[in-house]
A and B are shown apart, each in its own frame.
Chain A
Amino acid sequence: MNSTKTIFEKSKPGHVAYSLPKIDVEAKSADEILPKHLLADSEVNLPELSEGEVVRHFTELSTKSHGVDSGFYPLGSCTMKYNAKINEDIAQIPNFANLHPHMPERASQGALELQYNLQQHLAEITGMDAITLQPVAGAHGELTGIMLIDAYHKNKGNNKKTILVPDSAHGTNPATASMVGYDVVQVSSNERGLVDIDSLKEALNDDVAALMLTNPNTLGLFEEDILEIAELVHEVGGLLYYDGANTNAIMGISRPGDMGFDVVHLNLHKTFGTPHGGGGPGSGPVGVKEELVEFMPTPTVIQKNGQFKLDYNRPKTIGKVHSFYGNFGVNLKAYSYILALGGEGLKQVSEDAVLNANYLMERLKKHFTLPFDRVCMHEFVLSGKDLKDYGVKTLDIAKGLLDYGYHPPTVYFPLIVEEALMVEPTETESKETLDNFADTMAELVETSKNNNEQVLTAPHTTVVGRLDEAGAARKPVVVHEE
């Protein structure tokens, strides 16, 4: 029995982990200050433990989690690179961590200058004219970006209703477009894994507000025809939207702004090495070309007479998308990451990310089907379909990897590859790590062929075995019942 009791089960009435100074003002009781009917009738049933008990509980939980510091994490499209330790120290500097967002500009010049510098750096990296740091996640950036596109068209008096997404797109793309009220039309990929130009031409008409694309795409391939794609989309008055999930491949090498993209979002928690936090916080800045600047969310940080200011003066703004100015604490880490590498280092990052991916692809294609056998960028997609002959699926390979201390690649995405396994090693892994991983994958394939039971019942070494997800969804238990 490896499960950890919940903290509610560990609770003992009367145990305390907190300390507060004694009240130092005249202590009127709540019902002397407030009308009784506003007050709660009962106490909030939070757990009661001592400090040591709390620490042991969460430390135990931490030992049941796998992070980048625990081992190789080649989760495709998520860019799980090493997170520099200095960034954690920087985020805790009291003058940043304790800074109230309503502090006047004159008292928060340091934070504003940092945000301003980061905007400049991200504009330089993407080739865009202006950046907003307000969106706090990639999908939030997408939402902001599509809102900007919508505002742009409406301002021109155009009532466009369609957004195109490739069949290989991230699921957030169609979800975002439809949230903003657009009809989503899918564009097919061709046999080379790229946007099919004929399919695109067929889908293009005056009703198209934008094409959402990532480049390199989700197969890890560069859209070679990007200039033609941009031209075609622009010809019908549409805009080109760049999903920044894959920017790790092209820093200092090629810029979306130069490829014809009009709106770009970035994932600072991917490309710029800020930790993913078990699912967040992230940060999803959006960059735009000149013609969209007037619609950007307020405020943005500007520099005027040597002072940094929050600029609210944008009459055509889409408005605010976050309470304050975005995830400052995450932006701080990304800024620190960018300077730690500099222009030269960022290019090296992309080169090594691409080198690692191609090297690993070369080694793994001997054991798995490689649907698009050509040079890849920072990630690549394998297919486990041949293992079906042995009764083994991609999911089984993923679970098998857990026994070797690896986080598996992304499975079953992109949707256009059967039994997909999407691998992204990132630049922070050594050749030795890649070799060991490739050896393990080869071993798993051998085991699948000779002793598939071992793989089908994996994982064996984790704290729990394969979990019943269908049952969890059928009868959801999402809170602890006493």
Chain B
Amino acid sequence: MNHRFIPKTYQERKEMLSEIGKSSIEELFSQIPQSLKMEKQLDIKGPMSELELTKHINTLASKNKIDDSTISFLGGGSYDHYIPSVIKHITSRSEFYTAYTPYQAEISQGVLQSIFEFQTMISRLTNMEVSNASMYDGATAAAEAMLMAKNKNKKGSVLISKAINPNYRKVLKTYASQLGIELEEIDFDSETGQTNIDGLESKLEGKIAGVVIQSPNYFGVIEEMEQIGEKLKDHKALFIAVVDPISLAVLKRPGDYHADIAVGEGQSLGIPQSYGGPYLGFFSTTQKLMRKMPGRVVGKTEDKDGNLGFVLTLQTREQHIRRDKATSNICSNQALCALAATVYMSTMGKQGLKEAATQSLQKAYYAKQKFTNIDGVTPLFTGPTFKEFALKLEKPEVIKELEKHNIYIGVSLENDYPELSSSIISAVTEKRTSEEIDETVKKWGEMA
């Protein structure tokens, strides 16, 4: 058949076959035993023209009930931050998106330099010394951090806060049970919503390789990271901080409180929500631990004439050289998402990131006040919050009722925390307007 993706005619195929001394295409597949050859064609409809395809996909898209009038306070690991138009235009340049891993440095300087700039910006954001070229997402970045702590300390247990994102907790559990790591959970304070760090020192005795704390945590509550850092400062157990990158323009940064590894989800940095992926895990650590860091890293170097250039470096830790001794099996990562984040951080710049963070904080504060003024709605925790906060609802049925008005007030906590029944977390970014918040309050109030 002739197809728009395949530049061949029947005649050309015949010519090529005859040049290699074959009379039919079947001869090229003669090494496949006859019994293994499919008798029927694959049961997949098509080929579709571009018009048919677009129509079919648009029909599917329209079954997702969102539009310009949707008001969403959904967060819980994916956030509706503003994405400057520039990002789409840069990441749509095909030299970037149709390239592969920059194995041939001389014709990949653009990709390599953008990764170097990403590493620098993430390091500055987290106030850590080094960063890698990205990981699959926030959860797998946390899992790799846990694995790195195990390998560094040659100890098999990791402490994790029960207040970290439950999806991260699940991924950590999956990795831990397979990688021979024992997870011990630290509970949270039912009043403040903060991780119970009293007695943390006593828990550290013995076999603990690392401690994983998220701030702001899943309930949106900011943890006392400095106190935790102090407790862990002279301890071999690695302090793994899971952080929201936007919050770091306002809140203390992992390097400020002696974190050994800072990881997180970079989706907020200019990447669409896309029903959960592709997202961007970031991973930064100290100079001292750099060679134990998983994933790819780009370094600066020179050619023989002294021209500056960039290459993939520290590859001796990687799977294609060390095989079964590799630090991790990570191979491809999220380079295009890292590029999007780099363009985002360049576009927002020092001032813009701070403004996005501050506005998120201010609007979340406003919404939290307004929501909790509604009858039957109370704050679930007393701890300080950034852009997300937990609410207890006397009438949880309003969640579905408001959906009918195209308003999504938050993510339910009950599935992941059975003890927190009828509770939700609501997220507010700089994109929400006072009008949207007020309208939500109005409709919600009528149902209360």
Contacts and interface: CB of A to CB of B under 8 A. Distances in A.
B404 to A, nearest CB: 11
Contact of A40 (B30, B32, B75, B248): B248
Among B13, B30, B104, B358, chain A packs the most CB atoms within 10 A around the CB of B104
Interface string A302-323: 0000000000000000111111
A399 interface: yes
A110 B136 CA distance: 24
A473 B177 CA distance: 34
Among B298, B324, B403, chain A packs the most CB atoms within 10 A around the CB of B324
B329 A172 contact: yes
Contact of A326 (B27, B95, B165, B277): B277
Nearest to A410: B103
Given A58-B90, A355-B16, A428 B6 contact: yes
Contacts of A252: 38, 41-42
Among A33, A39, A75, chain B packs the most CB atoms within 10 A around the CB of A33
Interface stretch (A203-211, A231-239, A334-342, A381-389): A334-342
Contact of A175 (B97, B120, B326, B362): B326
A276 B325 CA distance: 26
Nearest to A320: B170
B129 interface: yes
Interface string B291-305: 000001111111111
B275 A324 contact: yes
Nearest to B428: A25
Interface residues of A, number: 199
Nearest to B412: A102
A44 B350 contact: yes
A339 B101 contact: no
Interface residues of B, number: 204
B41 to A, nearest CB: 5
Nearest to A17: B347
A81 B66 CA distance: 34
Interface stretch (B111-119, B195-203, B439-447): B111-119
Nearest to A33: B365
Contact of B138 (A90, A95, A323): A323
A278 B101 contact: yes
A97 interface: yes
Given A58-B343, A86-B53, A226-B36, A102 B64 contact: no
B106 A478 contact: no
Contacts of A30: 250, 358, 361
Interface stretch (B231-239, B330-338, B390-398): B330-338
Contact of B109 (A38, A65, A222): A65
Contacts of B7: 428-430
A96 to B, nearest CB: 6
Nearest to B358: A30
A64 B89 CA distance: 17
Contacts of B12: 431
B434 interface: yes
Interface in A255-283: 255, 258-259, 269, 273, 275-282
Interface in B276-308: 276-279, 290, 296-305, 307-308
B182 interface: no
A18 B41 CA distance: 53
Contacts of B319: 139, 171-172, 174-175
Given A48-B351, A399-B106, A33 B140 contact: no
A476 B303 contact: no
B323 A336 contact: no
B102 A279 contact: yes
B179 A338 contact: no
B8 A430 contact: yes
B366 interface: yes
A110 B63 contact: yes
Among A2, A16, A92, A340, chain B packs the most CB atoms within 10 A around the CB of A340
A323 B279 contact: yes
B376 interface: no
A89 B31 CA distance: 40
Contact of A18 (B111, B274, B348): B348
B178 A7 contact: no
A354 interface: yes
Interface in B1-41: 1, 3-8, 12-13, 15-17, 19-20, 22, 25, 27-33, 35-38, 41
**Shortest 3 CB-CB contacts between residues of A and residues of B:** A342-B46, A324-B276, A277-B336
17 contacts: A25-B363, A28-B362, A99-B274, A103-B74, A147-B174, A180-B179, A222-B31, A258-B38, A278-B111, A279-B100, A279-B133, A319-B171, A330-B277, A339-B53, A352-B13, A399-B104, A464-B303
